[in-house]
Structure 1
Amino acid sequence: MIHLETQSVQEGEVNNLVQDVPGQFFNMGKTIYLRYQEKLKDQDPAMVTFKINAAGEVQLTRQQGRNRSQMFFVVNKKLEARYQTPYGVVPLITVTPKMNVTLSEYPVSGKVSIDYDLISNGQELGEYKIRLHFTA
């Protein structure tokens, strides 16, 4: 089960979302994957995958119809991201001032907390927070 809380602040407007969704957990070597379907009002569902490596670095992939975003999070780093649309790729940058990943083996569970800024063409698009808690 996955408990997800997100917050976005764009042009002064705050949006919060809280969801409890079933998901899948699997690991390959020292990397774990969490996958779930995100359902938002008035939108097609999106398949979301979190990839967390042993160093605590996080990759977030979100596929919704023909749109696909892939973002990377490492504390205090600016990292290139991609947003693929039917019209082409939009280059993005994530800046992650705060991130914490806590994993437990018995029972398998974890918490992921990410605060990040999203930038496109030198302009900040917004500030975002992800709080994810899971148990397998």
Structure 2
Amino acid sequence: MQMDQLSAGVPVMIHLETHIKQNDDVSDYQLDVDGQLVQMGVNLYLRYLEPDNDTGEKTPVTMKFTPEGEVHLTRNAEAELRLHFISGKRVTARYNTPYGVMPIETVTPYLETSFKEKPFSGNVKIDYLLYAGEELVGNYKIRLHFTA
């Protein structure tokens, strides 16, 4: 598959693992889902629907990958979450709740993205800390792999 085919969007299989540590609580989450990879300009966008096992509803999730190695993660649920990851930096993120915007920040000690063309696939590894003000909300690890 050529990169220029990506502008129309390509179906991909996604395997996602999330490890969350909040205070003394640790939880692991795995998801295997179909998604779509689209190239717009110089950026790649990975889109998928994340099912809620309790309600059965599906939340649209978009990951944007920039040529500079930054990753933007957006979850459009009742509350919209916009996270921005830059390796080694603390950056402002947004959490739009039904009650207003909550200021949050991410600190990303580890971020690695790699993409291959044949077959088109990618690996994303993000370790980040999430802060609300000065308070640490949690320590997260995302491991994502997709294949066209």
Q: Which residue of 2 aligns with 1:60?
A: 73
Q: Which residue of 1 aligns with 2:33?
A: 21
For the residues of structure 2 that align with 1:106 and 1:41, how far apart are their CA atoms?
A: 34
Query: Root-mean-square deviation (CA), in Å?
Result: 0.9
Superposed CA deviations along residues 71-108 of structure 1, whole A, max 9, x for unmatched, are 00011100000000110000000000011100112221
For the residues of structure 2 that align with 1:74 and 1:63, how far apart are their CA atoms?
A: 21
For the residues of structure 1 that align with 2:117 and 2:64, how far apart are their CA atoms?
A: 16
Q: Which amino acid aligns with 1:57?
A: E
Report the TM-score, using the length of structure 1 for normalisation.
0.96
Q: Which amino acid aligns with 2:82?
A: Q
Comparing 73-82 with 42-51, which one deviates more in the overlay? 42-51
Count of residues in correspondence between the two structures? 135
Identity of aligned residues (%): 47
* 1:1-136 superposed matches below 5 A: 1-43=13-55, 44-64=57-77, 66-136=78-148
For the residues of structure 2 that align with 1:134 and 1:14, how far apart are their CA atoms?
A: 25
CA apart distance, 1:45: 2.0
Comparing 103-112 with 116-125, which one deviates more in the overlay? 103-112
For the residues of structure 1 that align with 2:125 and 2:37, how far apart are their CA atoms?
A: 18
Report the TM-score, using the length of structure 2 for normalisation.
0.88
For 1:22, what is the secondary structure of its paired residue? strand
Q: Which residue of 1 aligns with 2:3?
A: none
For 2:93, what is the secondary structure of its paired residue? strand
Q: Which amino acid aligns with 1:123?
A: E
CA apart distance, 1:41: 2.2
Q: Which amino acid aligns with 1:4?
A: L
Structure 1 unaligned regions, length at least 5: none
CA apart distance, 1:121: 1.5
